[in-house]
Amino acid sequence: MEDEARPTIKGRFTTCELVKREELAQDLVKFWIKPAQEFNFKPGQYCTIGVEGIERPYSIVSSPDEEFIELFIEIVPVEHGGNLTPFLNKLEVGTEMTLRPRAKGIFILQPDFKHHVFVATVTGVVPYVSMIRKYLSDPEWPSSDSLAHDEYTFDVLEGASYLDEFGYDEELTRLAAKHDFINFYPSVSRPTEERNAGWTGAQGRINALTEEYVANLGYDPKETVVYACGNPQMIEAVGEQFELTDYTFIEERFWKEDD
């Protein structure tokens, strides 16, 4: 009877194997998966994986040039509405999952703009890491008729409740120190809690800091895109800040509709 009640994934799908996992915090985990067949994607797109007949989309951390697909996943308990992630949290290396054969999503780099301001909360940083990795590894990407490869700038603004939720802070800090066209600006919203002991960086919700930070950058609004990915309330707040400006604003919305 349990098998009869199990959801069935319909349509075309292939499989993938979990080849590595790394737990960052109680509710955050990194997965590296190996698709059973060739899987192409653009930086910023997402893949859809499934276990036990349940599937969900996850933005891809890795660059398309990397061997495995890297994912950064927040584990949502069943009592809080989690369906797939409680299963994912129990998976061991070597486990097979379903994988839709085609990446989807339109939250990709806008190549005809010089300045790219990436706003994120926790796992929302994922597509930006993919874009930056691809940019650094491929001198032919992105392709633009109006801009040379060395004219782009990338500013990552990431907010989290706790410092151990920054899954890519070490990588972004290292890249920002190495490249003057990359900046990383993390902020914690609960600086007085014990879990944030020792934090000396910015404080407050990232959407409350975004408008001032972007203004201080001094970029020409017509040459700048502000991206937002992560908490829906953050995305809405940042969108409202730039709605009546000359900045271009785009948001990740795969939870709203199927692209």
168: CATH: 3.40.50.80
For residue 254, the model assigns a pLDDT of 60
Q: pTM of the prediction?
A: 0.94
The arithmetic mean of pLDDT across residues 221-242, rounded, is: 97
Residue 219 is part of which domain span? 115-251
Q: Which of 68, 99, 130 is the last residue of a domain?
A: 99
Summarised one tens digit per residue, pLDDT across range 99-116 is 999 999 999 999 999 999
- Tell me how many domains the chain contains: 2
Summarised one tens digit per residue, pLDDT across range 49-91 is 999 899 999 999 999 999 999 999 999 876 656 778 888 999 9
Are 203 and 174 in contact by the 8 Å Cβ rule? The answer is no
Domain membership flag for residue 187:
yes
Instruction: Please tell me the distance from the alpha carbon of residue 78 to that of residue 86, in angstroms, as a whole number.
Output: 7
Are 31 and 88 in contact by the 8 Å Cβ rule? The answer is yes
Do 217 and 123 fall into the same domain?
A: yes
> Residue 135 belongs to what H/E stretch?
helix 126-137
Q: Which of 56, 75, 99 is the last residue of a domain?
A: 99
Do 241 and 153 fall into the same domain?
A: yes
Amino acid at 202: A
Q: Which two tokens stand for residue 88?
A: 């994912």
Do 172 and 198 fall into the same domain?
A: yes
More confident residue, 53 or 34: 34
For residue 67, the model assigns a pLDDT of 96
The arithmetic mean of pLDDT across residues 234-253, rounded, is: 96
